[in-house]
Amino acid sequence: TNPLYIKADSLAKSIYTITRSFPKDESYGITSQIRRAVLSIILNIIEGFARQSPAEYRRFLIISYGSLKETSYLIDFAHEQRYLNHDTRDKLLLLTEELGKILWSIIHKS
């Protein structure tokens, strides 16, 4: 199986699980925003792959990379707001770094 897909899927599922504990008054704020950003990562990977064109795949991976950076910022922001503890933030950011390295290498090889 594809390590890019596995990491992106793992990150999305982790974010969804963790954001269930975010304050209810953030449902339309950071909870919604981080969930949309993290889903955009994997959905753009899938859509780009489905296009079956190397140029299109690369374009969608670039969009995915942007969503990854947005997700990383939101993880830090959630930590600053005390919605995430240090360990959870560090685990999530490690996953985003690993995913970012894979994405970056594929983008620059194509």
With 0.85 as the threshold, say if the pTM is over it: yes
Q: Which two tokens stand for residue 109?
A: 């090889």
79, 71 contact by CB (below 8 A): no
The helix-helix angle for 3-19 and 30-50 (nearest 10°) equals 160
Vertex 69 angle, CA 67 and 71, to 5°: 70
pLDDT level of residue 85 (50, 70, 90 thresholds)? very high
3-state secondary structure 21-66: CCCHHHCCCHHHHHHHHHHHHHHHHHHHHHCCCHHHHHHHHHHHHH
Query: What are the pLDDT digits (tens) for 38-59?
Result: 999 999 999 999 999 999 999 9
When pLDDT is averaged across residues 6-25 and rounded to a whole number, the result is 97
